[in-house]
Amino acid sequence: MRTRMVAGNWKMNMNLQEGVALATELKQRVTNPGCEVVIGTPFIHLTEVSRLLEGSPIRVAAENCADQVKGAYTGEVSAAMVRSTGATYCILGHSERRAYYHETAEILKKKVDLALAEGLRVIFCIGEVKEERESNRQNEVVAAQLEGSLFHLSEEQWKQITLAYEPVWAIGTGLTATPEQAQDMHAYIRSLVAKHYGEQVAEDTTILYGGSCNEKNAAELFANRDVDGGLIGGASLVADKFCAIIAAR
């Protein structure tokens, strides 16, 4: 059975007190969601928010982890450290990390392996930039991202992966992919997964859409057969909006 999911990505927003206040409100309001609900927070929130959400259906994700196990890597946070906070997910491959922190497919492959080895589930982001969409290369870009960082995984490991298709031109821009564009890409991604892991595994793989998904367009996007939910940036910072998106799923 495919898991439906709405995941928030707070990015580098909110100090600890603000984050705790938002998580507290979400805990009160999200008591019986019809899908898996995850909030991705900055590292500094993970312990307190995880503790706060004990007994709640909301799961907690880190937005990144290191590509090394441990040691002299000043400022880095390992997958084991993330796991020790109580977080159970890690978002990897976000386009902002690829673009601003030069995370290559090879680096992301290492991060995925380390996160899975620590028992974290991974929400892995893929998606093309505007020029690639304009030159109709979105399929090859996404295929290469999957090939480069994920398709070495065993079938057992694959079950810990949630994919998030996030066209980069839609992230934080107010430009959402049309429901048709999202459905076409999600169906294509599922076909690639089927080629590597078989039809059943592909059927069971959760593929989220991300990119200016909000309380107004979520229902229309989620109505598509291969769109299993959303990875939400800006709208996940406002409880009313995030709750409305969860209700649309």
Residues making contact with ligand PEP (CB under 6 A): 9, 166, 171-172, 210-213, 231-235
Of the residues 45, 94, 132, 186, only one is catalytic, namely: 94
- Identify how many contiguous H helices and E strands the chain contains and give both numbers: 12, 8
Contacts by 144-148 with C-beta closer than 8 Å and gap 24+? 144/105, 145/93, 145/105, 146/189, 146/192, 146/193, 147/105, 148/104, 148/105, 148/106, 148/108, 148/109
What is the H or E stretch that residue 192 is in? helix 179-197
Query: Helices marked H in 103-178 — which ranges?
Result: 105-117, 130-134, 138-149, 155-158
Q: Which residues pair with residue 37 across a beta bridge?
A: 6, 58
Q: Which is nearer to ligand PEP, 8 or 33 (CB)?
A: 8
Distances (CA, A) of 28 to 6, 163, 223: 17, 28, 27
Contact criterion met (CB below 8 Å) for 105 and 144: yes
Other CB atoms within a 10 A radius of the CB of residue 154 amount to 9
CA 38 from centre of chain: 9
Least spacing, CB of residue 178 vs ligand PEP, in Å:
15
Output 42 or 211, the one with its CB closest to ligand PEP.
Answer: 211
Q: Is 168 helix (H, G, I), strand (E, B) or coil?
A: helix
Q: How far apart are CB 234 and ligand PEP at their closest, in Å?
A: 4
CB of 74 to ligand PEP, least distance (A): 26
* Structure token pair of residue 222: 């989620």
Smallest separation, CB 209 to ligand PEP (Å):
9
Question: Is the Cβ of residue 65 or residue 202 nearer to ligand PEP in the bound state?
Answer: 65
The answer to whether the CB of 168 falls within 8 A of the CB of 130 is: yes
**At its nearest, how many Å lie between ligand PEP and the CB of residue 101?**
14
Cβ distance to ligand PEP smaller for residue 150 or 237: 237
Is 186 labeled as catalytic in the residue annotation? no
Using the minimum distance from each CB to ligand PEP, give the nearer residue, 83 or 241: 241
Q: Does residue 45 carry a catalytic annotation?
A: no
Position of minimal CB gap to ligand PEP? 233
Catalytic residue IDs: 94, 166
